Amino acid sequence: MSGAKRILVLGSTGSIGLQALQVIEEADDLELVGLSARSSWETLVEQARAHGVTRIGLTDEASASRAAGAWPAGEVHSGINGLVELVLESGADLVLNAIVGSAGLGPTIVALGEGIDLALANKESLVVGGELVTALAEATGARILPVDSEHAALHQLIAAERSAGPGTIERLTITASGGPFRGASRSELQRVTVEQALAHPTWSMGDKITIDSATLMNKGLELIEAHHLFAIPYERIDVLVHPQSIVHGMVTLCDGAVLAHLGCPDMRVPIAYALHHPERMELDVARLDLAAVGSLTFEPPDLEAFPALAVARRAAVAGGTAPCVLNAANEVAVHAFLEGRLAFLRIAEVIEATLDELGATPLREFDALFEADRRAREVAAAKIA
């Protein structure tokens, strides 16, 4: 038996999933034990063949039966329950959750509940159920390793200060590229198209997170993610716009020193970090040449043109079900925008109006989250119709 770490990749056909498969292929000490997607069964079967994996899961049941027909040698898990089976039966040492949206919450709960370490790209899991998710990880001893680049950066910076004791970390800073509309005024944002919003300047990502980056909601979600991962109060977490996406995160210490994490924007770096932690692997990615970059620039976020960030911060501070409502309304609004049914500036308005209508209720159990998510989707959809 080899001592390879067994990895299950959920959402393997997406942007993060594809890059994770590249990383795993290059690593001798990682073994792929399962793959999942929503409906892209042909790609999934192809991936399974290419990587010698027999267990796959498709949450869309019709796609799962097509995959089963095309691939009799393998085991195809079907539907949401199939995803749960995949986590429970794959024998994974670590689950990479690269599903998009609150659909990722279920697998996060199952993996952590089983005490399986979680490499978490699905930031929505922490946005929606941060307190409960981190409490579950603490109870079972499973680790949550962030894949989001800013949080992977902070994870490394904070780890370096662990021996310094409590009270050392004063502030956290996450950077934002500013997206394709950085510098635009509100009136200029009135008529932006889906195509323009999908043209991200520094990162190539799935559609949903690309729109979140254009509205700055992505940084709002990341603020909540950082709060739960590192147990730092919201008033001590800053967002800084940095168009070059070279500095990913910064930690301000109690003696005034500031530690920053730098690197060329390439998600394989944080993916490899999360998959290998506490070890590192040699990665064939571009090395940072600061002389070639020339200058790094920083500016505060424009909360008037990009109100989604301010809306997210308010929901974060309100706590309880508010971040779950924020996330669900955002998913509905972004989906409508991508389909051409909602104007860009209306995204934040729909989210804010949904939050105003539903308010925040305290949270004690996961079931309340699924109910809040469902209700918020209904309310947001009604505001768009």
Sign, CA dihedral 306-311-317-323, equals negative
Q: Which is nearer to ligand NAD, 100 or 157 (CB)?
A: 100
Instruction: Identify the three-state secondary structure at position 120.
Output: strand
Residue list 147-186, contact with Mg ion (CB under 5 A): 148-150
CB nearer to Mg ion: pick between 36 and 149: 149
The region of 9-17, 143-151, 232-240, 292-300 touching Mg ion under the rule CB under 5 A is 143-151
- Residue whose CB is less far from Mg ion, 135 or 288: 288
- How many contiguous H segments (helices) and E segments (strands) does the chain have? 16, 11
The listed partner (Mg ion, ligand NAD, none) that binds 57, CB under 5 to 8 Å by sort, is none
Neighbours of 364 (CB within 10 A): 10
Q: Any idea what DSSP says for residue 235?
A: G
- What does the block give as tokens for 166? 């409590």
Contacted entry of ligand NAD, Mg ion, none for residue 206, CB cut-off 5 to 8 Å set by kind:
ligand NAD
Give least dist CB 58 to ligand NAD, A.
8
Least distance between Mg ion and beta carbon 213 (Å): 8
Nearer CB in complex with ligand NAD: 20/295: 20
CA-to-CA distance for 55 and 61, rounded, in angstroms? 15
Output 201 or 206, the one with its CB closest to ligand NAD: 206
Residue 49 CB, nearest distance to ligand NAD (Å)? 17
Choose the one of Mg ion, ligand NAD, none that binds residue 16, judging by a C-beta under 5 to 8 angstroms depending on kind. ligand NAD
- Please tell me the distance from the alpha carbon of residue 146 to that of residue 138, in angstroms, as a whole number: 15
Q: State the binding partner of 59 from ligand NAD, Mg ion, none, CB within 5 to 8 A by kind.
A: ligand NAD
Residue nearest to ligand NAD (CB): 14
Piece of 46-54, 144-152, 233-241, 309-317 that binds Mg ion (CB under 5 A): 144-152
Q: Which is nearer to ligand NAD, 68 or 119 (by Cβ)?
A: 119
CB of 2 to ligand NAD, least distance (A): 27
Q: Strands of 177-319 (E only): list them.
A: 237-241, 247-253, 258-262
**Least distance (Å) between residue 236 CB and ligand NAD:** 22
* Binding partner of 267, given ligand NAD, Mg ion, none, CB within 5-8 angstroms per partner class: ligand NAD
Q: b or e along 72-87 (b: 16 or more beta carbons within 10 Å of the residue's beta carbon)?
A: eebbbbbeeebbbbbb
- The answer to whether residue 212 forms part of the interface with Mg ion (CB under 5 A) is no
Cα–Cα separations (whole angstroms), residue 120 to 53, 68, 175, 199: 21, 28, 19, 25
Identify the helix (H) or strand (E) that includes residue 317. Answer: helix 308-318
Residue whose CB is less far from Mg ion, 32 or 223: 223
Which residues lie below 8 Å from residue 58, measured CB to CB, with a gap of 6+? 36, 37, 38, 39, 41, 44, 64, 67, 76, 77, 78, 82
Whether the CA torsion 49, 51, 53, 57 is positive or negative: it is negative
For 122, half-sphere exposure in the C-beta direction (CA atoms, 13 angstrom radius) is: 28
Q: Which does 38 bind (CB under 5 to 8 A by kind): ligand NAD, Mg ion, none?
A: ligand NAD
**In this structure, what token pair is assigned to residue 26?**
């290059």
Binding-site partner at residue 132 among ligand NAD, Mg ion, none, CB < 5 to 8 Å by type: none
Least CB distance to ligand NAD at residue 222 (A): 9
Per CB under 6 A, residues contacting ligand NAD are 11-17, 37-38, 40, 59, 98-100, 103, 121-124, 148, 203, 205-206, 208-209, 267
CB neighbour list of residue 241: distance below 8 Å, 6 or more residues apart: 175, 176, 177, 178, 182, 298, 299, 300, 301
Q: Which parts of this chain interact with Mg ion (CB under 5 A)?
A: 148-150
